[in-house]
Amino acid sequence: MKVKVHISNVDKIYKGTSRDVHALDNVSLDIYENEFVCVIGSSGCGKSTMLNILAGLDTPTSGKIQIDGQDISGTGIDRGVVFQQYALFPWLTVGQNVAFGLEMQKLPKEEINTKVDHYLEAVSLLDFKNSYPKELSGGMKQRVAIARAYAVNPKVLLMDEPFGALDAQTRAQLQCELIDTWQKEKKTCFFITHDVDEAVFLAQRVVIMSPRPGRIKSIVEIPIPYPRLPETKLTKEFNDIKNSIWKEVYKEYLAEKK
Ligand SMILES: Nc1ncnc2c1ncn2[C@@H]1O[C@H](COP(=O)(O)OP(=O)(O)O)[C@@H](O)[C@H]1O
Ligand SMILES: [Mg+2]
């Protein structure tokens, strides 16, 4: 297996006026090509910090990040990012939003159009190509954001709780669609969530982080075969894995309660 993302000994300390925050402590992780990795941990454990560093929106205090063996420097179109809030351009149509990154790459018009249609089709939104974001539901907006991230064919997709603001039913639906797209299109995915159910459903490996300072506590392989379907969540295997990860994530919290 080829290592796509190499994270080695990453530390992040936010310097504050009254005190410093040690957000990440010696985080090392290799993510393989086309792997789907979920990172889980309670609020404030450094998940977004890790993603922002991978995206190049922030820099580590020390440590190294490489993609395909190259050090990253700043943001780049080799990394597609999807955030919880719908970062669509409200003045552009759905199609124009998906085309945006492709136009930046100065691809021929024909090619852009073909790609936009392909990825809108993949997220079942081709009929909404000429609609504006304000005409879409939250779930549809996130589907556009995912299509837009895929369209530029990044090496890695970075997603920070992309379904966090959606209702449970829409969320479950988008999880299925994301897995479906990932199986068809292939992509190295780094997906952050604080929802254990979501992590187990999506990931091949779940990385569990512990808070203050943010460390990798353990890594759990999820041996459930794909395609994973809504009924997968009803199986004993799924629930056994989910329960054991839940306990691991909230171990400190559960101990305090005793
Ligand atoms: N820009 C910042 N300046 C100072 N502290 C920050 C900043 N961003 C995050 N932190 C702190 O770093 C820790 C980790 O935050 P974050 O990565 O957002 O956690 P998570 O995404 O897991 O909830 C928290 O204690 C948070 O308050
Ligand atoms: Mg966060």
Tens of pLDDT, residue by residue over 110-161, are 999 999 999 999 899 999 999 999 999 999 999 999 999 999 999 999 999 9
Q: Which residue's alpha carbon is nearest to atom 27 within ligand 1? A: 44
Q: Does CATH number 3.30.43.10 belong to domain 3-78+154-257? A: no
Q: Strands of 188-193's sheet, edge to edge? A: 79-82, 156-160, 188-193, 36-40, 205-210, 215-221
Note whether 31 and 3 are within 8 A (CB). Answer: yes
Question: Which range, of 110-114, 205-209, 249-253, averages the lowest pLDDT?
Answer: 249-253
User: Cβ(49) to ligand 1 under 6 A?
Assistant: yes
pLDDT exceeds 90 at position 255: no
Gap from CA of 60 to ligand 1 centroid (Å): 13
Q: pTM surpassing 0.75?
A: yes
Closest residue by Cα to atom 20, ligand 1, is: 44
Would you say the CB of residue 230 lies under 6 angstroms from ligand 1? Answer: no
- Ligand 1 centroid vs 54 CA: distance in angstroms? 15
Three-state DSSP at 217 gives strand
47 CB near ligand 1 (under 6 Å)? yes
**pLDDT at residue 6 in the model:** 98
Q: If you measure from the C-alpha of residue 66 to the centroid of ligand 2, how many angstroms do you get, rounded to a whole number?
A: 22
How many whole angstroms from 233 Cα to the centroid of ligand 1?
31
Closest CA to 159 of 48, 43, 7, 46: 48
